[in-house]
């Protein structure tokens, strides 16, 4: 059985994961409108992944005798400036999510909830991967600079990058 404190913290994370999905969906749309097919595909996939992260929390709360809550979400931005700015926003957002997961791990230990602590390890590993991936992408963007040909190749490459990371997700 989940403690009230643990349940409410996990429900807060459901909202964060759902909002992450919405943010990346907005980024997918922005990129698609700009004709960046690969980037937009990457963002659609990211958005789906966040929904999966959200659902995993959802199922877990209900399995442990709690009640997963669907809450109101904040609307994401519509414009993202440049590709570089957009990926910087994504990176910062993932760092924020990692901090939030760390906070959950902290609460699980405080509550002596070792089942939830164990469940959260999947997210700890996932966040390492998400941050590393965002950093790799930002490095590539910095290398390209203002080179239009480079941007074209990057847009093509990023489709494969997504495939690589989803081939070996951390196991639950």
Please tell me the distance from the alpha carbon of residue 22 to that of residue 1, in angstroms, as a whole number: 30
In the bound complex, what is the minimum distance in angstroms from residue 62's beta carbon to ligand FEO?
A: 19
Q: Judged by CB, which is closer to ligand FEO: 1, or 172?
A: 172
Residue in the shown chain whose Cβ atom is closest to ligand FEO: 53
Nearest partner of 61 among 12, 103, 123, 22, judged by Cα: 12
In the bound complex, what is the minimum distance in angstroms from residue 97's beta carbon to ligand FEO?
A: 4
Please tell me the distance from the alpha carbon of residue 132 to that of residue 130, in angstroms, as a whole number: 5
Q: Judged by CB, which is closer to ligand FEO: 94, or 155?
A: 94
Which residues does 144 contact at the CB level (< 8 Å), separation at least 6? 150, 151, 154
Q: Judged by CB, which is closer to ligand FEO: 3, or 98?
A: 98
In the bound complex, what is the minimum distance in angstroms from residue 150's beta carbon to ligand FEO?
A: 26
In the bound complex, what is the minimum distance in angstroms from residue 35's beta carbon to ligand FEO?
A: 25
Nearest partner of 70 among 93, 54, 47, 53, judged by Cα: 54
Q: Judged by CB, which is closer to ligand FEO: 12, or 144?
A: 12
Query: Which tokens sit at 166?
Result: 């989803």
What is the binding site for ligand FEO (CB under 6 A)? Answer: 17, 20, 50, 53, 94, 97, 130
Query: How many Cα atoms are found within 13 Å in the side-chain-facing hemisphere of 39?
Result: 28
Q: Judged by CB, which is closer to ligand FEO: 20, or 162?
A: 20
Query: Which tokens sit at 112?
Result: 């002596």
In the bound complex, what is the minimum distance in angstroms from residue 17's beta carbon to ligand FEO?
A: 5
């Amino acid at each position: 059985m989940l403690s009230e404190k643990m349940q409410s913290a996990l429900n807060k994370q459901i909202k964060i994961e759902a909002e992450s999905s919405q943010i990346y969906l907005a980024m997918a749309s922005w990129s698609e409108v700009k004709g960046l097919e690969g980037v937009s595909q990457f963002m659609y996939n990211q958005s789906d992944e966040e929904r999966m992260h959200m659902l995993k929390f959802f199922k877990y709360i209900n399995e442990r005798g709690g009640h997963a809550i669907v809450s109101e979400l904040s609307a994401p931005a519509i414009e993202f400036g440049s590709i570089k700015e957009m990926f910087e926003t994504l990176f910062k957002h993932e760092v924020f999510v990692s901090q939030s997961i760390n906070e959950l791990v902290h609460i699980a230990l405080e509550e002596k909830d070792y089942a939830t602590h164990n469940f959260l390890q999947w997210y700890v590993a996932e966040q390492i991967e998400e941050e590393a991936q965002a950093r790799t992408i930002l490095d590539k963007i910095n290398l390209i600079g203002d080179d239009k040909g480079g941007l074209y190749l990057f847009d093509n490459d990023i489709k494969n990058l997504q495939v690589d990371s989803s081939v070996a997700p951390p196991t639950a």
